Amino acid sequence: MLLLIKRNVRCYDRKTTYVDWLASCSCSLIRNLYTPEIALTKTATMAPTEFISLTFPNQSTELDPNPNASIESAFLARYARNLDDYDFNYTLVPYGSSSYDPFTIGATIAAHTKNLRIIIALRPNTIYPTVAAKALATLDQLSSGRAVVHFIAGGSDAEQAKEGDFLNKEQRYGRLEEYIRILRRAWSSPEPFDHEGTYYQFKQFSNQVRPVNGKSIPVSVGGSSDEAYRIGGSLADIFGLWGEPLKETKEQISRIYAEADKAGRGADDRPRIWVTFRPIVAETDDLAWEKAHRTLDALKGFREKGLGKAPADAPPPQNVGSQRLLEIAKRGEVQDRALWYPTVTATKARGASTALVGSWQTVADSILDYVDLGCSLISIRGYDNLNDAIDYGRHILPRVRGVLAARENGSQVASG
């Protein structure tokens, strides 16, 4: 057996994914090693791999911040059209206590695009669930079925308190669970209905505003806590993760799927996995690393000036996802192929902050590693918002899709 491995190991290098190497080895005994991993890998091949960006309403960036910038309608339209033209599948409209109304931004994006799906970030404390059901269904109709909702239970007591929400973390997740169940019933119930729950009560709600498909709108949940795994695994169509090393990502996927199994969801009904990165890319690896260090210097400089995501004296984050990123950062700057963690520490893990650094091909290969784990939704956004999105559309998306198409064609030939 050792001799057989030695004969085949030469075909594996860092440009080849582990799963691809096992599957392509000439030796049938080695190919059989592929079998234990097949459950997760099949998830990736069964669901289409799609790309997500983030919406920016003006030209302010983390490398050129303008905290007083207002909406630039022409820029927002241009940004959305570029995402559509470069075949991004989704854009996330973010939410914060001081941010713009995501529904209005979402409707604007819908008016300027044809295929781009609009993910509305929503905190349950900001809008009653029956009102949200109608607002989301309205956007779905305006966009011809392109609406998605991503729920934020709330990872900071201080941030929640800014809008009058004083529930603790456990209560916030309990409210989220009730909220999702109300939404789904509001979208699908043919008759008026009552609801008497822990957080919401109403009588004879009747909804005439339905999703385009007549049933539901995709529901996304994110997080890295036990509560998030339970609610997302049992109820969500999509589960969002921040970029962690492959080992930790696989462990989180297993936790999510275990909760889905407990809820009686079959293997074909598990949440799709969405993972987020901040790629720093260039034509070569060396140029990308030079760019990465310039980016890091800028992030640190703005933090010291109080213009970064988190001021220099900001307290540690409360949410588990950020805490996990900061703990992983202590292990070293680079994980796996190209996952870079100094951007995490520079921003104190406020939001998605793990970078992928390298050439177009290196970053595409890194993304494929996550696809092979079962991540079928890949969110990528950079630090020079519009220009990075264009670069990704020109160089990253085609490479990833090309490899996946070649795999699919190869499997069809083999099965034929």
Q: What mean pLDDT is predicted for residues 93-116?
A: 97
19 band by pLDDT with thresholds 50, 70 and 90: very low
In angstroms, the CA 395 to CA 331 distance is: 31
Q: What is the mean pLDDT of the chain?
A: 89
Among candidates 177, 181, 209, 215, which has minimal Cα distance to 195? 181
Q: Classify domain 47-305+356-415 at the CATH topology level.
A: TIM Barrel (3.20.20)
Picking from 245, 248, 246, 219, the residue whose alpha carbon sits closest to that of residue 232 is 219
pLDDT tens-digit map of 111-150:
999 999 999 999 999 999 999 999 999 999 999 999 999 9
pLDDT band with cut points at 50, 70 and 90 for residue 413:
low
Q: Does position 36 have pLDDT exceeding 60, yes or no? A: no
Q: How far apart are CA 227 and CA 241, in angstroms?
A: 14
Could you give the CA distance from residue 224 to residue 209 in angstroms, rounded to a whole number?
Answer: 33
Retrieve residue 24's tokens.
Answer: 């392509």
Which range has the worst mean pLDDT, 23-27, 177-181, 200-204, 272-276? Answer: 23-27
Does the model's pTM come out above 0.85?
yes
